[in-house]
Amino acid sequence: MGKNSNRFRTMVSVLISLYLVVIVFPFVWVMSASFKPTQEIFGEGAFSIVSRNPTLENYVNVLQNGILQAMLNSFIVAGLTAVYVVLVATLASYAISRFKFRGKNLLLGVILAVSMFPQMIIVGPIYNLFMKLNLTNSYFVVLPYSTITLPVAVFILVTHFNKIPMALEESATIDGATSLQTLFRIIFPLAAPGIFTTAIIVFIAAWNEFLLTVTLNTNKSYHTVPVAISFLRTQFTILWGDVAASTVIVTIPTLIVVLLFQKQIVAGLISGAVKE
C-alpha cells in the first residue's frame, strides 16, 4: 500500500511540476525578452533565453512612459469594481436565494441573457451617456464594467447562498434580527469563500477590460494597463521590448502579493467553509 501511494504521489508531483513549467514558461520567456535589445527579440537571438547584450533600456522606456500610473489606475478601477459589484451582487443574490417573489425567474433570465451579449454593443450608447453627463476621463468607467461582471457575480453567489443551510438564519429571525442584519452577521461570514472568490473574479475581469476604457478614457492619466500597453507601438511596428518589460512590471507585483498573502487567502477560504 505504502509503495503504491508513493508511486502515485511521485506521479502527481511530476504532473504538477510539468503543469507549472507549462504555465510559467511563456511568462519566463517574455521576461527574458524584456532584457533583450530589439535586434535580438526577432532574428538570431530570438531562441536564446539569455541575451548577448542584456539591457535595461526597455524598462527605462516604459517606466518613463507612465506604466506605474497605468498600474495604479488598473488597481483603483479593478478594486472599485470589485467592491461595489460584490456588494450589489450579494444583496441581490441573497434576495434571490432566500425570498419568494414574483418575477424571480424573469430576473434570473434577464441577468443570464445580459451576459450573453458581447461587450462591444454597450460601447456606443455608454459613450453617448458619458459625454452627456461629462463623465468621460474619470474613474466612473467602473459603472459600465457592471455589464461584464455583475451577472457572473450574481450567479456564483446565488449558487453559494443556496448551499448554506437556512436553520441559522431562522433562529436569528426568531431573535428579532432584520434581514440585513441576518445577511451581514450570519450569512456573510459563512459565505466568505464564495464572496471572496467572486471578488477576485470581478477584480480580474475589470483588470482585463480594454474596449470601454480606451473609448471612454482617452486621457493618458486614466489609462489602465491593457490600454497603456496597446500604446506601445509605432505606426508600423509593435515595440516588443517595451511590451515585454511592461508585462513583467505589471505581473511581478501581482505575483508577489499573491505569494505573500496566499496563506491568509487560503485561511480565509478554509475558515469560511461550512462546518456542520
Partner 1 sequence: MKRMGFKELLFILPAIVIIAFFSLWPIMKVINYSFFDYQLNDQQKSELSLDEKFNVDLFNENADYVAMFIDMNRDSFPEDAQGKVDEVVADVNELKMLLADKSGLIELSGGLKKQIGEQYAKLESEAGYFVSSYDFPDRENLKLVMEDMGKCFVRSNFIGLQGYYNAIKDERVRTALGNTVVFTFVSVAFELLLGMGLALIMNKAMRGQGLVRAVSLIPWAIPTTVAALMWSYLYDGSSGIVAHILQTLHIVRDSKDLLLSGGGAMASAIIADVWKTTPYMALLLLAGFQTIPAVVYESAKIDGSGTFNTFFKITLPLLKPSILVALLMRTLDAFRVFDLIYVLTGGGPGGSTETMSIYAYKTMFQQTNFGYGSIVVILMVVFVALIAAFYIKVLGANVMERD
Partner 2 sequence: MKRKISLLVAALMIFMSFSGIGVSAADERVVIKWATQADTTPATQILIDEFNKSQSKYTVQWVQMTNDSGQMHDQLLTSLSAKSSEYDVLSMDVVWAGEFAAAGYLNPIDRDMYAAGLKKTLYNAGSMAAGNYMGKQYTLPLFPDLGLLYFRSDIVSTADAAKLVSGKYTYKDLAAMAKKYKGKGGTTDGFVYQSKQYEGLTCNVTEFTGAFKDIKGGLETMKMFTTSDFVPKNILSYTEAETHNAFINGKAVFARNWPYQYAMLTESVKPSQVGIAPLPNGSTVGGWVLGINKNSKNAAGAFEFIQYAAGWTGQMIMSRRGAHLPGYNYLLNDERVGNPMLKIEGFKNAIKTTISRPVSPQYSKTSDIIQVNVHKYLSGGQDLNTTVKNLQNALK
Q: Where along the sequence are the contacts to partner 2 (CB under 8 A)? A: 39, 42-43, 80, 83-84, 87, 123-124, 127-128, 131, 134-140, 142, 178-180, 214-215, 218-220, 227, 230-231, 233-238
Dump the DSSP string for 155-215.
HHHHHHHHHS-SHHHHHHHHTT--HHHHIIIIIHHHTHHHHHHHHHHHHHHHHH--HHHHH
**Judged by CB under 8 A, does residue 226 bind partner 1?**
yes
Compute the least distance from the CB of residue 168 to partner 1, in Å: 14
Chain centroid to Cα 62, Å, comes to 23
Q: Which one of 80, 240, 242, 249 is in contact with partner 1 (CB under 8 A)?
A: 240
Binding partner of 236, given partner 2, partner 1, none, CB within 5-8 angstroms per partner class: partner 2
**Judged by CB under 8 A, does residue 14 bind partner 1?**
no
Positive or negative, the CA dihedral 53, 54, 60, 65 is positive
Amino acid 143 reads L
Which of 50, 259 has the CB closer to partner 1?
Answer: 259
Whether 191 contacts 160, CB under 8 Å: yes
Positive or negative, the CA dihedral 153, 159, 160, 165 is positive
**Judged by CB under 8 A, does residue 80 bind partner 1?**
no
Which of 1, 64 has the CB closer to partner 1?
Answer: 1
**Judged by CB under 8 A, does residue 95 bind partner 1?**
yes
Phi/psi of residue 233, nearest 5 degrees: -155, 160
Cα separation values, 231 from 65, 66, 171, 208, 210, Å:
10, 11, 57, 16, 12
Which of 219, 262 has the CB closer to partner 2?
Answer: 219
Task: Specify the stretch interacting with partner 1 by CB under 8 A; choose among 50-58, 60-68, 133-141, 226-234.
Answer: 226-234
Q: What are the cell numbers at 6?
A: 508513493
**Judged by CB under 8 A, does residue 275 bind partner 1?**
yes
Which of 59, 144 has the CB closer to partner 1?
Answer: 144
Q: Which one of 63, 68, 83, 92 is in contact with partner 1 (CB under 8 A)?
A: 92
Binding to partner 1 in span 31-70, by CB under 8 A: 33, 41-43, 46-47
Q: Which residues, 6+ apart, have CB-to-CB distance to 177 below 8 Å?
A: 185, 186
Compute the least distance from the CB of residue 4 to partner 2, in Å: 50
Dihedral angle over CA of 147, 153, 154, 156, nearest 10:
140
Binding to partner 1 in span 144-183, by CB under 8 A: 144, 146-147, 150-152, 154-156, 158-160, 162-163, 166, 178-179
Compute the least distance from the CB of residue 270 to partner 2, in Å: 29
Whether 224 contacts 73, CB under 8 Å: yes
